[in-house]
């Protein structure tokens, strides 16, 4: 039994959910998100909660049960609070700045990196060493942050690169004489 799937997703005030076939649409103060579930689960909306039930006892149905419930819960969180990832830049001369919708990164490469923020995601650089990625779609926010981080991943010797604010970089000891 899925411990996650059993719990219904409560809809806070100001958030509404509609169901058409296997597609759930959640509307809230920050926007609208949709999710299409597979045929392995049954989604139902009663008063102010969304419940997900598996269709059958197959392994795939049980997998989709917990995943579908989590997707609906993330949509509700996204349209009410939104999601945020914070990145930090470490390294001499490494910095970021916003120019319109483009994030300009100086990362010690022979050229500056121009990263255009995708639709539905807001990228800001309040300080030259801090980048904040915000949006209502958790997957899109996480993927955008990962794409920015991929330009210069943190290295284990000096810790230079772009890392998540809550990430710990395991440091290695350098060569010995």
Residues 77-122: pLDDT tens digits?
A: 999 999 999 999 999 999 999 998 999 999 999 999 999 999 999 9
Phi, psi (5° rounding) for residue 28?
Answer: -150, -175
Residue 66, token pair as written in the block = 């917990």
- Separation CA 81–CA 86 (nearest Å): 16
Residue 41: CA count within 13 A, CB half-sphere: 30
Q: Look at residue 3 and tell me whether its pLDDT is greater than 90.
A: no
- Separation CA 82–CA 137 (nearest Å): 7
What pLDDT is stored for residue 4 in this prediction? 86
Is residue 175 very low, low, confident or very high in pLDDT (cuts 50, 70, 90)? confident
Is residue 149 very low, low, confident or very high in pLDDT (cuts 50, 70, 90)? very high
Domain check: are 144 and 108 in the same one?
A: yes
Q: Look at residue 1 and tell me whether its pLDDT is greater than 70.
A: no
Residue 88 lies in a domain: yes
Domain check: are 76 and 10 in the same one?
A: yes
Closest CA relative to residue 26, chosen from 78, 83, 82, 84: 78
By 3-state DSSP, what share of the chain in percent is helix, strand and coil, each rounded to 5?
20, 40, 40
CB 74 within 8 A of CB 138: yes
Residue 174 lies in a domain: no
CB 152 within 8 A of CB 107: yes
Residues 34-77: pLDDT tens digits?
A: 999 999 999 999 888 999 999 988 999 989 999 999 999 999 99
Residue 15 lies in a domain: yes
User: By residue range, what is the domain housing residue 130?
Assistant: 83-164
Residue 99, token pair as written in the block = 């120019």
Domain check: are 58 and 115 in the same one?
A: no
């Amino acid at each position: 039994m899925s411990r996650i799937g059993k719990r219904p997703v409560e809809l806070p005030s100001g958030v509404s959910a509609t169901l058409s076939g296997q597609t759930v649409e959640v509307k809230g103060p920050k926007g609208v998100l949709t999710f299409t579930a597979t045929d392995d689960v049954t989604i139902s909306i009663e008063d102010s909660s969304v419940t997900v039930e598996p269709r059958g006892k197959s392994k795939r149905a049980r997998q989709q049960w917990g995943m579908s419930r989590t997707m609906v819960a993330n949509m509700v969180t996204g349209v009410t609070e939104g999601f945020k990832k914070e990145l930090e830049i470490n390294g001499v001369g490494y910095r970021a700045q916003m120019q319109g919708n483009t994030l300009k990164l100086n990362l010690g490469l022979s050229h500056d990196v121009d990263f255009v923020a995708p639709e539905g995601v807001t990228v800001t650089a309040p300080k030259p060493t801090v980048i904040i990625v915000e949006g209502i779609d958790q997957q899109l926010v996480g993927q955008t942050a990962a794409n920015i981080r991929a330009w210069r991943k943190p290295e284990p010797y000096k810790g230079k690169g772009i890392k998540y604010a809550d990430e710990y970089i395991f440091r290695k000891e350098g060569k010995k004489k």
